[in-house]
Amino acid sequence: MGAKTNYYKALAADYSKPGLIEDRVKTVFIQDAEKFMAMKEDTLPEIGEYTLKQIEQENKDWWPTHCEALRQGRGDILTAEYRDELVYLCQDGPYYGLEKQKIREKHWWALIAQPGVTMCWPIVMFHGEVTYFEWKCVDDETNETLAKGNVTWIRRGHRGACYLKTEQLTFYRDVFAPEPLLQLITT
């Protein structure tokens, strides 16, 4: 049997299960997310002077800010993580361009960030521009899994943001969020 891996060993925070992040740290991650989104350039930066090693480190720095933004329903930050020319491949897609995925993804965010549910990412891996992760939503009271999936982001660090996303999602209870949950997502 292979050795078990702690995917969060070298990262700023562990989002593998509920209850591991202090409130003061959550605030810092949201502030960092806003800074990272402001660094996005209009044109996708070339790899060269902007090295894959630097990009991978920036993706590792970004990761906890993404998790916290999702847990807090910060759709404004989540949308800003994408490039305008995003290609998003999933079972409801494909979506080409940032505007195409907004309506559908808002429902997903509302379901996975609803009160009484905690999003967790037990597995996250990085390689250059690639960030791969598996996620699940856990009902805080029943420990029931409401939804799960796996995602691959191609993200060119803070300057480039995400330009390709692939995702497999499975929702066990709901597929479209009711209006009260949609109102909780920041736009």
| Domains and their CATH numbers in the chain | 23-182 (3.10.450.50)
pLDDT single digits (tens) 141-171 = 999 999 999 999 999 999 999 999 999 988 8
Give the sign of the dihedral formed by CA 14, CA 18, CA 24, CA 28.
Answer: positive
Model confidence pLDDT, tens digit, residues 88-125? 999 888 999 988 888 788 888 888 888 999 999 999 99
Give residue for tokens 């996620």.
135
| Mean pLDDT over each residue of the chain, to the nearest integer | 93
| Residue percentage of the chain with pLDDT more than 90 | 75
154: nearest Cα among 50, 55, 35 = 55
pLDDT by residue (tens digit) across 73-92? 999 999 999 999 999 999 88
pLDDT of residue 47: 95
pLDDT band at 41 (very low <50, low <70, confident <90, very high): very high
The pTM score is 0.90
Instruction: Enter the DSSP assignment of 17.
Output: S
Average pLDDT over residues 3-31: 94
Alpha-carbon span 80 to 83, nearest angstrom = 7
Give the SS3 label for residue 141. coil
Q: Does 173 have pLDDT greater than 90? A: no
Do the Cβ atoms of 85 and 161 come closer than 8 Å?
Answer: no
User: For 131, left (φ over 0), alpha (ψ -120 to 50), or beta?
Assistant: beta
Q: How confident is the model at residue 26 (pLDDT cuts 50, 70, 90)?
A: very high
Q: Which of 16, 111, 108 is nearest to 67 (CA)?
A: 16
Q: Are the CB atoms for 119 and 113 separated by under 8 Å?
A: yes
